[in-house]
């Protein structure tokens, strides 16, 4: 590694991760000598088909599913689109959709579009201040014409991990399908989708040290989903188009490694995140967003509000000093809208704008934590010194309460 690279702390693993060398090694032959189309009937084609079949079996095993229940896609965005639109075309009479208010943009924007176009009525569930979906709001939202309930498993911004067993049982009771976006949880926490009351689930590779541009949709046997774009009959006729063979091979490898090392690596990542969170909470006028580290929260996720400063300003200063983070989520950080996740858990717009997300992975270490703490401290001081107005008297009480509350929650 170069010197410059050593001075960078990449703490944006919630947006994407570095591919592991073992994964890259597995992929390389499929970018060179193994170039057959899996649909071709000669030896090169058969070899490619066999490689995909084997990857499908590995991946199915990794999530506790059957190979026939896995559809390879271009990523979690496509998987979410295929799940929702696939069901829409399968059940055109069901015109009611239920989602959580903290979904990834790829689900949230489908809901917005269906509602705008008059295709479906959308109900958003209630979440509490840590982002957990209120089961009662789900129970009372389900109707006879409900097409689907879609609830993200691990939230990309505040790390909340939903109780899919509880939510899925409510859906089962009422005879409604449940889809869950598992892009953030897969490879980080144990996941046995076959045993959960979940009917469809979305995954991708690049959040778990695999390649970008590849993902999967799990569709439980007996659940019918109609393809929503046309082509040849790949992927059981549900997802046409020549498969991303190298991507699929890398995805299966990344999943295998993540599961093999999960206990050890995720424990270490959570310890790092805990120290980072504790250190950041020592700074004045801060708020801690989401559940306590280590308790139904994605390993490595820390989300902090720095009051009276813009998140973008912090992000840019940290960037110059070699600490890479994100404000809100990458998808919303180019707009001026505050993060819909942070506002859903009750943050004021100005507090949502002052929030920074640090996401650690197995490739981070104590040095990254120390650098992030030092650089964030300096940056916050600098930016606050430029801020004309800090309502000291008014906020002091509130902030002290926030810090006491944090300590109490995390003991
Ligand atoms: C990253 C992410 C997505 C989008 O996945 P792509 O593979 O980049 O399309 C969807 N949902 C969640 C929860 C994510 O974190």
Q: What is the pLDDT along the chain (411 residues), one digit of tens a residue?
A: 444 445 899 999 999 999 999 999 999 999 999 999 999 999 999 999 999 999 999 999 999 999 999 999 999 999 999 999 999 999 999 999 999 999 999 999 999 999 999 999 999 999 999 999 999 999 999 999 999 999 999 999 999 999 999 999 999 999 999 999 999 999 999 999 999 999 999 999 999 999 999 999 999 999 999 998 899 999 999 999 999 999 999 999 999 999 999 999 999 999 999 999 999 999 999 999 999 999 999 999 999 999 999 999 999 999 999 999 999 644 445 567 899 999 999 999 999 999 999 999 999 999 999 999 999 999 999 999 987 656 654 455 556 667 666 777 666
Q: Are 218 and 201 in contact (CB under 8 A)?
A: yes
Phi and psi dihedrals of 256, rounded to 5? Answer: -60, -45
Q: What is the number of alpha carbons within 13 Å of residue 217 lying toward its C-beta?
A: 29
Measured from the CA of 212, which atom of ligand 1 is nearest? 7
Q: Is the CB of 326 under 6 A from ligand 1?
A: no
Query: Could you tell me the pTM of the whole model?
Result: 0.94
Q: Is the CB of 181 under 6 A from ligand 1?
A: yes
Q: Is the CB of 329 under 6 A from ligand 1?
A: no
For 49-97, the DSSP string reads HHHHHHHHHHHHHHHT--GGGEEEESSHHHHHHHHHHHHHHH-TT--EE
Residue 252: per-residue pLDDT? 98
Mutating to test ligand 1, I would choose from 154, 164, 184, 248 the residue with most ligand atoms within 8 A of its C-beta, which is 184
Measured from the CA of 15, which atom of ligand 1 is nearest? 1
- 236 C-alpha to ligand 1 centroid (Å): 23
Q: Is the CB of 106 under 6 A from ligand 1?
A: yes
- 305 C-alpha to ligand 1 centroid (Å): 23
- 183 C-alpha to ligand 1 centroid (Å): 6
Q: Is the CB of 204 under 6 A from ligand 1?
A: yes
Phi and psi dihedrals of 29, rounded to 5? Answer: -60, -25
Mutating to test ligand 1, I would choose from 103, 108, 156, 161 the residue with most ligand atoms within 8 A of its C-beta, which is 156
Strand pairing category for 200-204 and 215-219: antiparallel
Q: Is the CB of 311 under 6 A from ligand 1?
A: no
Asked about 171 being catalytic, the answer comes back as: no
Q: Is the CB of 184 under 6 A from ligand 1?
A: yes
- Tell me how crowded residue 249 is: count the other CB atoms within 10 A of its CB: 27
- Tell me how crowded residue 46 is: count the other CB atoms within 10 A of its CB: 13
- 202 C-alpha to ligand 1 centroid (Å): 9
Q: Which of 124, 116, 225 is nearest to 177 (CA)?
A: 225
Which domains, and CATH codes, for the chain?
2-18+261-410 (3.90.1150.10), 21-258 (3.40.640.10)
Q: Is the CB of 154 under 6 A from ligand 1?
A: no
Catalytic residue among 122, 223, 281, 331: 331
């Amino acid at each position: 590694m170069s010197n410059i690279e050593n001075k960078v702390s990449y703490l944006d693993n919630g947006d994407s991760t570095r591919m592991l060398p073992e994964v890259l090694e597995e992929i390389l032959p499929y970018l060179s000598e193994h170039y057959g189309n899996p649909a071709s009937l000669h030896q090169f084609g058969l070899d490619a088909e066999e490689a995909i079949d084997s990857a499908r079996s590995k991946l199915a095993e990794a999530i506790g599913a059957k190979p026939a229940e896995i559809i390879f896609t271009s990523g979690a965005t496509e998987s979410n689109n295929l799940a929702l639109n696939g069901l829409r075309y399968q059940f055109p009479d069901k015109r009611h959709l239920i989602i959580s208010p903290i979904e990834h943009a790829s689900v949230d924007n489908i809901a917005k579009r269906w509602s705008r176009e008059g295709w479906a009525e959308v109900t958003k569930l209630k979440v509490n201040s840590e982002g957990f979906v209120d089961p009662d709001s789900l129970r009372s939202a389900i109707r006879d014409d409900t097409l689907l309930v879609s609830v993200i498993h691990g939230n990309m911004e505040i790390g909340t991990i939903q109780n899919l067993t509880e939510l899925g049982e409510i859906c089962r009771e009422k005879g409604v399908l449940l889809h869950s976006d598992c892009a953030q949880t897969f490879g980080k926490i144990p996941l046995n989708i076959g045993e959960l009351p979940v009917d469809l689930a979305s995954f991708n590779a690049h959040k778990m040290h695999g390649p970008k541009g590849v993902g999967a949709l799990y569709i439980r046997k007996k659940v019918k989903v109609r393809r929503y774009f046309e082509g040849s009959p790949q992927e059981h006729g549900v997802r046409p188009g020549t498969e991303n063979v190298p991507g699929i091979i890398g995805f299966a490898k990344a999943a295998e490694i993540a599961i093999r090392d999960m206990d050890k690596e995720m424990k270490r990542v959570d310890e790092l995140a805990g120290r980072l969170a504790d250190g950041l909470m020592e700074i004045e006028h801060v708020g801690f967003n989401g559940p306590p580290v280590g308790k139904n929260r994605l390993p490595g996720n820390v989300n902090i509000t720095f009051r009276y400063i813009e998140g973008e300003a912090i992000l840019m200063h940290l960037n110059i000093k070699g600490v890479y983070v994100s404000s809100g989520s990458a998808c919303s950080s180019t707009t001026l809208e505050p993060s819909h996740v942070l506002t859903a858990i009750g943050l004021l717009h100005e507090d949502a704008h002052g929030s920074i997300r640090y996401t650690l992975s197995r490739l981070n270490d104590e040095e990254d934590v120390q650098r992030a703490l030092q650089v964030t401290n300096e940056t916050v001081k600098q930016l606050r010194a430029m801020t004309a107005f800090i309502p000291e008297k008014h906020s002091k009480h509130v902030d002290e309460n926030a810090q006491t509350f944090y300590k109490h929650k995390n003991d």
